[in-house]
């Protein structure tokens, strides 16, 4: 399912691959991991919109979302996210198809 096609503004969408959502640089221009924002698998964000970004001749779809803790509006590749219904299906699949099912029912 496509987040951009199936989501409305304000819907909750889920991260399916961790990534650094906002890079912060220190005074010397070095990456500051303590002030940067990272999203992990299972984190929830608020869907805002989507847009097409071009890199040479390769267009890709970006999702604009609101970070739940900071309220920042950020953007990332659509492939990092799934809709709530897809998230629930993934949780059910892994719960049924792992030896213990542990960990999947506790997150979100």
CA angle 63, 17, 10 (to 5 degrees): 35
| Res 75: pLDDT | 96
Per-residue pLDDT tens for 64-96?
Answer: 999 988 899 999 999 999 999 999 999 999 888
| Res 103: pLDDT | 55
Per-residue pLDDT tens for 9-39?
Answer: 999 999 999 999 999 999 999 999 999 999 9
Task: Indicate the class that CATH gives domain 3-97.
Answer: mainly beta
User: Does pLDDT of 106 surpass 60?
Assistant: no
**pTM of structure:** 0.83
């Amino acid at each position: 399912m496509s987040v951009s096609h199936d989501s409305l503004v304000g819907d909750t969408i889920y991260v399916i691959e961790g990534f650094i959502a906002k890079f912060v640089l220190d005074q010397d221009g070095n990456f500051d991991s303590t002030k940067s924002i990272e999203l992990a698998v299972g984190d929830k964000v608020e869907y805002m919109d989507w847009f097409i970004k071009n890199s040479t001749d390769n267009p890709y779809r970006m999702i604009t979302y609101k970070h739940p803790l900071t309220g920042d509006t950020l953007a990332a590749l659509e492939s990092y996210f799934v809709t709530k219904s897809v998230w629930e299906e993934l949780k059910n699949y892994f719960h049924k198809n792992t030896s213990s099912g542990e960990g999947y029912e506790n997150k979100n």
